[in-house]
Amino acid sequence: MITTEKPMQEPYDEDHAHTLERLERELAATRGELRQALVAVEQAQLQTSMLLSSTSWRITAPLRALKVLGGKGALRAKRDDYAASPTNRPNVPAPLRNLTMDIDPKPNATYRLVDARDAMQPLSKSRDADENGAQRRILFLGSTELAGELTYDAALTILDRGSWRELLQPTKFDYLLVEPAWRLVDPAWGYCMVHPGQEQAELIEVLDRCRALSLPTVAWARDDADVYEGIAWLGAHADRIYAIDQTLVDRYRADHPGRPVSLLPLAIQPALHNPVRSYALFESAPEFADKVLYDGWYDLLSQPEQPALLRDAGGDALRICESEWEFGRARLRDADTMQSRILGCVEPIDKNALGKLFSAELFYEGGHRSEARKRQAMLRAAACGSQVLVVGNTNRGAELPEGAVKWLANEQVADYLQSARNHPLNVAGLSHTVRRKLMQEHTYRHRLNHIAEDLGIQTRDETATLSPRVSMILVTKRPERLAGCLERFRNDLYPNKELFVVMHGEYDVVAARKLIGERESIQIYGMRAQHSLGECLNFAIRETESPYWCKVDDDDLYGPSYLEDIMLARQMVDFDLAGKPPVFTFMQQDSKLYWDPRWFLHANILYSEGDSRSAFIAGATILAKRSAVEDVQFSARRRAGADSQFIEECLCSGARVLSADPFGFVRYRAGNDGAHTWRMDEKAFIRSAKSLSGAHAIEKLAFV
């Protein structure tokens, strides 16, 4: 939540909000129709181009007639108009195409081929305080970028220059957070952070007023040490100083001895920077899946050697964008040899979408961006799933985990990219472990918690918010596997879980309960064999009270981070149902682990109503938010296919279904085919899947 606390505010109108949401959906649909029309226009233009360039006397006869009718310059003008059109630009899939580039091709218009707003809209995450635990009340003065990222984890109020005296009331806020930045959310403050003047004097008055009210003031310097001279004055006025750079920390400590100064590294906002794709992004993925992105169009102009370096490194797979500055269409002539690779200027939402689609992002030493901005870009690229490739001496920073960055010489980049294309599973596994580390230690929530602890601000227990209770539900007809399933539950690293077991058949429930230790969150019940699997599952779901429940099978394999990973996805997107695509399968008949590249493509996708009749997730991994799917039940009449039908009905009811990462789950295929309700042609499967090795590969490749 973010507010500006203006004196007069419009009341919240729920009907207006619903109307606005409907109009946004209609606008997105209209844009989609327009994109389809533009694709048809492009095809017609291509046919026209072929016709105009034809040397066939018979085919060009109508054109020669038009030339006579229209005068000598008519056909030449047509050719010139077409030659001036942007035919030499890279392909952008229709869901991501910027429509205005074709509708309004002015030479001075901002060159922007990508518009990802519609494709990203289904991924927008709620900022509701109750769901996301936004209990921190922060008064903020800083950049629009940081304000937008903090609003997912805090109740943020912008320090408005015109009304700050009314805003500053005792106990209204936990603290004032100041980010030294050139461009501030409220432009009325001008360049007060870096230039002395009336605005800076007024900000010092704000800080003094906060001290009089016992409201803590915190400054977080999120730039390089070379900006220190401009922001050094804050050290004498803020109660606490944080910096992302140790050099900057040392300088503040030297100039302001006794003032609390600490290192507070850069961070990610999982709700914005994550690998989850909408269905539109999934459809766009093939265009960019083997490509490498370079963000720095202006570097092509200022560094003469840069174009050649980029061509050598990326070749035809290279695409170039610019996220810090803007340039017009006419400026493309300044980098003529690179036109076919330039995507143009990108907004933050566009860059976010590209990070989910490109295999890698390339960084070089030097250039227009500061080292801090590069590090932030690296962090976001890693969180979105791109490989981070660095040429030159660029600092990784304290926030990027080990393995997140690959340092290469320029001549090594092309070979490395080819190797990565040949080993996509290894790349994905490393990316997954890096992202997990980021989610566990380097989000804005972690940074805000750090500040609160330093200030002695008591915060409520976030266990229910970050790790809500999950009921794992196991229905089994094989009591001989129960002990192994209980041990698997104990080994799972997720901290807030319980296990609800249904013995399906005439089994000794009393004997089974003796396997449970004291104070273990495990319950075992029995249901007669005449009940269906669906009835057993529905009974277990009714008996549990956790806000989330998760279905597991007795014969499949689950890694220790299985539940933790799938619940971490809650910080990325709002889903009602989630599961994992069955990428890995262990075949008992040959004792080998296989992975299926086709299923691999369906990881990290959020399905909404209308995208698909079903989501590509394994039934043995279904996890549901109770409140969202409480009206949907498993079929009581089906003996097979109950999982698939449940997923389909959830989608039809409007549920948002997430196909999460592929790791931590392995289907186990016993030699006895009759032991499975899931039917498959094993020979056909082995032909299409890829063998990884024996059982030892499970821990190394599947349970990363």
- What does the pLDDT look like over 594-636, one tens digit per residue? 999 999 999 999 998 777 777 889 999 999 999 999 899 998 8
More confident residue, 638 or 561: 561
CA distances in angstroms from 681 to 283, 673, 688, listed in the order given: 28, 10, 11
Residue 156's beta-bridge partner residues? 2, 138
Radius of gyration of the chain (CA): 29
For the domain covering 467-702, report its CATH number. 3.90.550.10
Strand 623-625 relative to strand 577-579: parallel, antiparallel, unpaired?
antiparallel
Residue-wise pLDDT for 32-75, tens only, equals 666 666 655 555 555 555 445 554 444 444 444 444 444 444 43
Task: Express as a percent the part of the chain with pLDDT over 70.
Answer: 83
Reference 346, options 328, 369, 368, 323; nearest CA is: 323
pLDDT tens-digit readout, 339-361: 899 999 999 999 999 999 999 99
In order of 511, 520, 554, 646, the CA distances from 480 in angstroms are 12, 20, 10, 28
**Cα torsion angle, 605, 608, 612, 615, sign:** positive
66-117 pLDDT, tens digit per residue, is 444 444 444 333 333 333 345 688 999 999 999 888 776 677 889 999 999 9
Contact 46, 38 (CB under 8 A): no
Cα–Cα distance, 390 to 266 (Å, whole number):
18
Q: Is 361 exposed, middle or buried (0-12, 13-18, 19+ CB in 10 A)?
A: buried
* Cβ atoms of residues 360 and 288 within 8 Å: no
**Boundaries of CATH 3.40.50.2000 in the chain?**
277-422
Question: For 389, which DSSP code?
Answer: E
Average pLDDT, the chain: 85
Q: Answer whether 467's CB lies under 8 Å from 495's CB.
A: yes
The pLDDT of residue 675: 57
CA 142/CA 37 separation, integer angstroms: 42
Decide if pLDDT at 513 tops 70.
yes
What's the CA dihedral at 429, 435, 439, 443 to 10 degrees? 170
Instruction: Give CA angle at 180 (178, 181), nearest 5°.
Output: 120
Least trusted range by pLDDT, from 295-299, 329-333, 457-461: 457-461
pLDDT tens track for 253-290 = 999 998 999 999 999 999 999 999 999 999 999 999 99
Q: What is the CATH number of domain 126-263?
A: 3.40.50
Q: How far is CA 408 from the centre of its chain?
A: 26
What is the C-alpha separation between 567 and 162, in angstroms, rounded? 43
With contact defined as beta carbons under 8 Å apart, do 206 and 166 qualify? no
Evaluate whether 318 touches 292 at the Cβ level (below 8 Å): yes
Instruction: Give the homologous superfamily in CATH for domain 277-422.
Output: Glycogen Phosphorylase B; (3.40.50.2000)
Q: Give ranges for CATH 3.90.550.10 in the chain.
A: 467-702
pLDDT number for residue 311: 87
Euclidean distance between CA atoms 587 and 314, whole angstroms: 39
On whether the CB atoms of residues 355 and 285 are closer than 8 A, the answer is no
pLDDT at 656: 93
Phi, psi of 157 (to 5 degrees): -120, 130
DSSP string across 213-227: TT--EEEEE-S-GGG
DSSP-derived secondary structure letter, 663:
T
Q: How far apart are CA 377 and CA 538, in angstroms?
A: 46
369 CB-near residues (< 8 Å, 6+ apart): 296, 324, 377
pLDDT at position 225 is 82
Q: Which 3-state string (H, E, C) describes 513-531?
A: HCCCCCCCCEEEEEECCCC
Rounded to whole angstroms, how far apart are CA atoms 93 and 114? 9
Sign of CA dihedral 342, 343, 344, 346: negative
Lowest mean pLDDT among 96-110, 375-389, 547-561, 635-649: 96-110
Task: For residue 596, give the 3-state DSSP assignment.
Answer: coil
Angle at 519 between CA 516 and CA 522, to 5 degrees: 45
d(CA 302, CA 452): 43
Task: Measure CA of the first residue to CA of the last residue in the chain; give whole Å.
Answer: 35
Task: Supply the pTM of this predicted model.
Answer: 0.86
> How is the beta sheet containing 690-693 ordered, strand by strand?
557-558, 665-669, 584-587, 592-595, 690-693
Strand partners, 669: 587
Q: In percent, how much of the chain has pLDDT > 90? A: 62
